[in-house]
Each structure stands twice: as C-alpha cells, then as structure tokens.
Structure 1
Amino acid sequence: MLRRTARSVLKAGNTRVDFARRFPDEHDVVLHYHAVGGVGWDSIPPAWFRSHLEWLTRQYRIVDLPEILTPASEKRIVLTFDDGLQCFYDTVLPLVREYGIPVTVYVIGDAIRDREPDYMPVKCEFMTRVQLDELVDEPLVTIGNHTRTHARLPALDRYAIEAEVNGGKEIIDAELGIDVDRFCYPHGESDPRAVDVVSDRHETAVVGGDATPKTVADPYLVPRTSGAVPPSELRWHVPDFPKCWPIRSPG
C-alpha cells in the first residue's frame, strides 16, 4: 500500500515538473498505438496524441524502427501503429507530416481486400486501397505485415503460422507493389515457431510487453510499450526512472 501511494505521489509530481527526465534516461522505447480518434482497439483522443508528439519531440529523437537495432549513446523513440485503421490516414498521417517524424503502420493482408472482416474481436474501420497506395509513396511511413487475418500465432500449428505470416506478406506485396520486411505479431504474442517463420522473410518484428532494453537483443522480438494513455501517463512511462526505481508497484 505504501509503495502504491508513493508511486501515485511521484506520478502526480511528475505531471507538474517532469522530474523523471532529470534522472539517467537511455533506454530506447518503441510505442505502439491502434486507433487515434477513430474506431478500433484502445482509441485515444487526437488531442492526446498531439500532446504526446509535442512532449516526445521536445525531449527525445524519434527515429525509424531499424535505427534502434544499432546501439547509441542517446535514448530514441519509435512510433508504431497496428491494424492499418482508417483513423491512421485521417488523424495520424497529417500529424506525422506536420512533425516530420518516421512511423511504421502494420497492415492486415485480408483487410486490404475486405474492409469488413469477421475475424476481428472489436469493430475496426480500415484504410482504403487508395489511401494505402498513398502511404506507399509517403517517405515518412513504412508499411509492415500484421499477418493475413490477425490470428493468434502461438495457437496455430506450423502450417497455419506460415499461411498467416507469409500469406499476409504476399497479399500486401502484391496489392501495394512493395516488398514488406517489417512484421508485427498480432496481440503481441509470439513463440519460437512464429519467430522462425517471421525471420525467414522479414528483417524486424515487434512483440508485446513493456520491456525497454538499452540494446535490442533480437530483431525479431523488439518489445513495445503502449502509447494509448493520457499525456501525463506517457510522461511517466517513457523515461527510465519509473522502470528502475524500486518503489514501482507490482503489476
């Protein structure tokens, strides 16, 4: 109880003075988002996301995903977006262009051909083919593979994993005329079989979890932290201090 109270006091104080940034802060962070001002998982208001960008661009350098595979002396931030939602085009893309920051958006293969699929557990609105074509030509955006139907890969046999991973890539490559080399495990879940399949035809893969290692040990298990939080929460979770200080509450 005491640890929880102390953590709450520190978070409240950090909202006012941003003291967490005054401690050593060197671990890269890959943030993941779904919906921003639209329909999909973990939707956050556009004003929150703008506030995130205002603070992140003042405090850190936002880089493209492959850059964090090489160690550096400075902390770097990567922004990723799952599912290829309509609100990415409507809300996120204008802000990406305004701030001039690189991002990766992971697209579900079948959703390119059918924007009203029945396999998603929540209602989603996906980008159109025309909008995706525009992203292909946008230098700040890289499209990644999010499987063919957003299946939970560890629950599948090897053959089905290959169909999901390689099938998603093949659809995206064929429909958009690109060679996708970035992958995102649906639901943030992976296992050794999935990693083996993904690594055969991709250069990087992001996974779930809130770990923020100083150096990425495996390019096919790059950990991410959720960005679907209020601005005050983001300013607490991104710096190293809350992760390293022993007063952090369990869970």
Structure 2
Amino acid sequence: MKQLLSCFLSFKTALCSLLLISTMANSADSAVFLQYHHVSEDTPRSTSVTPDRLKQHLDYLDDNGFTVKSIVDVVNSVRDGRPLPDKTVVITFDDAYKSIYENAFPLLKEKGYPFTVFVAIEPVDKGYHQFLSWDQLREMGKHGATIANHSITHSHMVVKHPDETRQQWVNRNRDEILKTEARIKEKTGQSVKLFAWPFGEANPELRQLLASMGYVGFGQQSGVVGPLSDFTLLPRYPMAADYAEMRGFRTKVNSLPLPVKKQLPDSAMVTDNNLKPSLTLELADGDFQKNQLKCYASNAGEIPVKWLDDEKTRFTTVTPNSLSVGRSRYNCTAPSMDGRRYYWYSHQWLRLNEDGTAID
C-alpha cells in the first residue's frame, strides 16, 4: 500500500496501473473458516477427522497458495473493510477435545498456522478425560492459538427451561456467556469476545443479545465470511466424516461468499405450521453465473430455484419434504464466471421436538 501511495504521488501512471492490478488480483474481502471437532481415529466419525486427513488438509493449504490467518485478524479485517490475501483460511476447533492437543497441535505448530479453540469450560474445569486441560490450552495459546467462548455446558441455548420466563431465559444465556469469557480470561489471559453457538443453534433474540454484548458469533452452516455476512452467525465449513473428503475440501476452501444482501426469514426456527419453509434471498452483483445458481436441501437434494425479477436479483427456494426434528440446511451455490470457483451460501433450519426440546 505504501508503494502504491508513493507511486501515485510521483504520477508514474503506467507503473501505478500495473501495481494496482497486481494488488487487486492478490487481495480479497472474504475468508473461509473451517470447523473441526475431534482429530482422532477412535472418536465418533460424524464429528471427527483422522490425523492423516487433517495433515492432507494442511498440506493442501500449504502447497496451493493459501494464507492461514488468526481469527481475530480476519474478523476485524472483513468487518472494517480491509483487504485480505486471496484464499485466506481460518482454522477452528469446537469443544476443546484432548485430541486437538495430541494430534492437531503438532501439525499446526510445524506449519506455523494460527488456530482457534472454542472452549465449553465445564468439562475442562472438571478434568474430564477426553477434554483439554487449562495447561494444554495455555501452551497452545503461546504457539498461536486463540482461546474463545463456547459456553459453560454446551447446552441448547434456544431451549427455555420449564416455567422459565423469556427474561429469565435471556438472563441465563447472558450469564453463561459472560461467566465463560471471564473464566477463559482468568485461566489463559485471553478475552477476544468471539462466541461459537453450541450445535450452531441460535434464534433472532439470542443473536440480538450477542450483538448487544459486543460479541461476534459463529454457526455451523457452510459458506464463506464476507462483508455482507451476519456477524452474529458467521458461517464455517464443518469438517468431519464425508464432508472432510479431499475433493469436497478443495472446492470449499476455494469458494467465495454468495453476496446475499437480505434473507427471509431471518431465523432458523421451523414451526409446526410451516414444516416446508421457503427461503428468499436478495443478491448483490457479483462475478458469478446466475443462470447456474442451484440450491439443495439436506432432506431432498436439489430443490427448485424461482427467480422473482427479470434482473435475477431475488429468488426463492423451498424443499418439497417436511423438515425433520433437528437441524437441516439449504445450500445455494453458483459457479464463478470463469468456472473455477463456487460462490456459496447456507441457511440452517432448526425444528424442536413437540415438547420444545432439541436433539443433539
């Protein structure tokens, strides 16, 4: 940037043009966030990658021109409109499992890659065998790990307790976030005000609460973080089981944010009288092929896209099948104009049990 400024001040227009083109070609306003849980061959496949698979992921990033940056740097850059290197990636781990220290940390340290551990503090405080200790978290913090907030108990925060008023429910969730943040600061010295929703579950009231507290929130829906993203529910690509296979990994880490200006509904919650919810998105202009935009539902595969205007700036999509109890997604993607990368957006749905409880 200093070189560009000097260039323009000296009126060397041809050189300036070349520098500007080069700078723009190698900068971006978005980043891919990856979400891992266990890194082990002996843990549930649905939330695990093997150490060999993680090594393949890290080697691919290292060999193909990616920049792995700290979560704080990337969040601040995107929010403040500062450019990032093209193909920027952030690595995160949820739940503070011991396998992160045993199997992921050595690989990350060897690469010099920063990473984040979102900690649910109760299992750590109680010394549960499968979880990290505070000593291990502090050690990783000295080698580039950001230690961030994942609640006390990893409960379903959208669920109200029996006989709990709305205000009591809000206060309980506020206290859980604040107590977790205070405990992390006490034990590690870090307090970055980044919060990963347990199970990726949030509703508008909780997101508003988080924003009022000055926190940035992260979900578990796929997609890319960009300037139009909702900073109370930023997307991350879950990496586990088949979703961590190399073919899909290559597509995801090279993806770009579908520029969604507005979405309806602005909520994940599925009601009993609307079990086939429609999603309407309004798009900003972008370097993607609108005619090739496709959407998919987790319970139905590809689902129809209906454009609502001739300019193809608004469309709606809906599953033909009722969503099951639990978490579901609609994913919408479109290839870039050169066909080399995909623009991506995901919306998570949440349907509770009849008694208002959620499933893990």
2:35 is equivalent to residue 29 of structure 1? no
Q: 1:68 aligns with which of 59, 69, 74?
A: 74
Within the candidate set 34, 52, 60, 2:57 is matched to 52
Q: Structure 2: how far apart are the matches of 1:26 and 1:240? A: 12
Match of 1:89 in 2: 101
Q: Which has the larger radius of gyration?
A: 2
Distance 1:169 1:205 in 2: 13
Identical residues among aligned pairs (%): 23
Deviations 1:28-74 (A, max 9, x none): 21110001115466111111000001112222111112333324362
Aligned residues: 219
CA change 1:232–1:148 in 2 (3 A) is same
- Greater relative CO (CA pairs within 8 A, separation 6+): 1
Q: 2:18 maps to which residue?
A: none
Report the secondary structure of 2:191's partner residue: coil
Match of 2:195 among 167, 183, 194: 183
CA offsets per residue over residues 117-148 of structure 1, 9 Å max, x none? xxxxxxx810123212312322x111001001
Between 168-177 and 27-36, the greater mean CA deviation after superposition: 168-177
Q: Following superposition, which runs of at least 4 residues in structure 1 exceed 6 angstroms of deviation?
A: none
Q: 2:158 aligns with which of 154, 158, 178?
A: 154
Q: 2:210 aligns to what SS in structure 1?
A: helix
The alpha carbon displacement at 1:176 in A equals 3.1
- CA RMSD for the aligned pairs? 2.7
Q: For the structure 1 residues 192 and 134, does the alpha-carbon distance in structure 2 shift closer, same or farther, using more than 3 Å as the test?
A: same
Tell me, what secondary structure is at the counterpart of 1:125?
coil
**Pairing 1:1-251 to 2, within 5 Å after superposition:** 27-37=30-40, 39=43, 42-59=47-64, 60-69=66-75, 70=78, 71=81, 72=83, 74-116=86-128, 125-138=130-143, 140-156=144-160, 157-201=169-213, 203-228=215-240, 229-240=244-255, 246=292, 250-251=296-297
Greater per-residue strand proportion: 2
When the two structures are superposed, what TM-score results if normalisation uses the length of structure 1?
0.76
Could you list the runs of 5+ residues in structure 2 that have no partner in the other structure? 1-27, 161-168, 259-287, 298-360
Pick the structure with more helix per residue: 1
Q: 2:171, 2:186 → 1: CA distance?
A: 21
Q: Judging changes above 3 Å, is the alpha-carbon distance between structure 1 residues 202 and 231 closer, same or farther for their aligned structure 2 residues?
A: farther
Q: How far apart, in 2, do the equivalents of 1:220 and 1:134 lie?
A: 29
Separation (CA, whole Å) in 1 of partners of 2:100 and 2:108:
10
Question: Do 1:183 and 1:202's aligned partners in 2 also have CA atoms closer than 8 Å?
Answer: no
Taking structure 2 as the reference length, the TM-score comes to 0.55
Q: Determine the C-alpha separation between the residues in 2 that align with 1:250 and 1:28.
A: 22
